[in-house]
Amino acid sequence: MRAAAQAREAALGLRGAERNRDDGRVEVLAPGSTDALAGWLAHGPPPVHVTQVERDHLPTMRRTAAFRAL
């Protein structure tokens, strides 16, 4: 999921980071307009099964040169 999310984020022109959490969830930090990304994350790539997407609006984060896996 993380690699697919990274590719989708790059295609949408987003810059940020994502990481696998110890509990199996994937965390994505993306500044800017993220509606298209959130819609894609709600379904994920096959064979991923997404059960929930949570969105939090955080204070402005520093933009990075490219998306990176943490």
Active site residues: 2, 20
Residue 17 · residue 67 · CB < 8 Å:
yes
Helices (H), the chain: 2-11, 35-41
Residue 41 · residue 32 · CB < 8 Å:
no
